[in-house]
A and B are shown apart, each in its own frame.
Chain A
Amino acid sequence: MSDRAIPCSDAVRRLWDYLDKTLSPEDQVLVESHLAFCRRCCGELEFAKELRAFMASDEVDEIPVEVKERLERFMEEL
């Protein structure tokens, strides 16, 4: 392990930024190096990907009929 290895807590804290590609190139390498040997953090990474996909669901929201009607009336009166 190199002198610059990071513990799991640091790796996990940076996982979402790692997936967002908003880490500095240096930190990106630190996280990648950690993931190369840590199975548990790879599990955290996979779950972070699942959770992001879950949040990004592009299903269009249902709008209650009465709300839709009120908003449409509001628009007509503009």
Chain B
Amino acid sequence: MGETAIDPEDDRKARFEALAREQLPRLYGLARRLTNDGAEDLVQECLLNAYRSYGTLQTAEAGPAWLQQILVNAFRDRLRKQARTVEEVDVDEIDEFSLYRTIADEDPFPYSDSLHVDFLQAFGREDVYAVLARMPEIYRAPLVLRYMQGFSTKEIARMMDTPLGTTLARLHRGRKLFEREMWAYAEDAGLLDKEVSP
């Protein structure tokens, strides 16, 4: 009996789908961190672009990072198309803020022996998304890519197509904004009213 020949196009599509299915939760999580709305659209755009350029993927091991890069490219292009005025934040205003000192001064959990750790543990995954959503996207992206996705600052500069100096400045402001918004969100969402277990 002769063997049934596998259509190369079907094989290519099956391999792409296997990779993409496995990475869907990570891609969707990254999209939600980067953008306030349209995370699902962003993942669709990523899948479409990735499928079209699947032939450029060198090895299967490189697949997850390759998909993330394509999603970030789609996000960057979307930011450009929106052509919004860049929402630059006054550095002096946010440089003064220290989350560490604010927690120590305000002492939200008076019976806690580990005040700062308890503050962080009050945040669930959805709370983190909510904090990110309060930040302008130009500061969110470097923060998310550096500290949540683990890319280097040089990689982020390349991915976002911004000079390294601009990337570092936005990363600095992004960190400060994230800290400030964590505190503001914790107050607004009532996270500071919860009892800390002894």
Chain A residues within CB distance 8 Å of chain B: 9, 12-13, 16-17, 20, 22, 43-44, 46-48, 50-52, 54-56, 59-63, 67-68, 70-72, 74-76, 78
Least distance between B170 CB and chain A CB atoms (Å)? 13
Q: Contacting B117 at CB < 8 Å: which of A48, A50, A70, A76?
A: A50
Q: Give the nearest-CB partner of B20 in chain A.
A: A75
Query: Contacts A47-B116, A60-B25, A61-B125: A12 and B153 contacting too (C-beta < 8 A)?
Result: no
Q: Which residues of chain B are near A50, meaning CB under 8 Å?
A: 116-117, 120
Instruction: List residues of chain A with CB within 8 A of the CB of B128.
Output: 55
**Can you name 12 extra interface pairs (CB under 8 A) apart from A13-B172, A51-B120, A75-B47?**
A12-B98, A16-B175, A44-B101, A47-B100, A51-B99, A55-B147, A61-B125, A63-B28, A72-B24, A74-B44, A75-B17, A78-B16
Name the A residues within 8 Å of B21 (CB-CB): 72, 75
The interface residues of chain A lying within 8 Å CB-to-CB of B29 are 60-61, 63
Interface on chain B toward A: helix, strand, loop, or mixed SS?
Answer: helix
Majority SS at the chain A contact face: helix
Which residue in B17, B20, B51, B120 is a CB contact (below 8 Å) of A54? B120
Q: Which residues of B contact A54 (CB under 8 A)?
A: 120, 123
Interface pair A63/B120, CB less than 8 Å apart:
no
Q: In this complex, what residue of A is CB-closest to B117?
A: A50
Contact sample, A vs B, 13 pairs, CB 8 Å cutoff: A9-B95, A13-B95, A22-B153, A47-B100, A51-B179, A59-B125, A61-B25, A70-B40, A71-B28, A71-B44, A75-B47, A78-B13, A78-B16
Q: What residue in chain B is nearest A54 (Cβ atoms)? A: B120
Binding site for A on B (CB under 8 A): 13, 16-17, 20-21, 24-26, 28-29, 32, 40, 43-44, 47-48, 51, 95, 98-101, 104, 116-117, 120, 123, 125, 128, 146-148, 150, 153, 168, 172, 175, 179
- A41–B150 Cα distance when bound, in Å, is 25
Q: Which among B25, B98, B100, B148 is the interface contact of A63 at CB below 8 angstroms?
A: B25
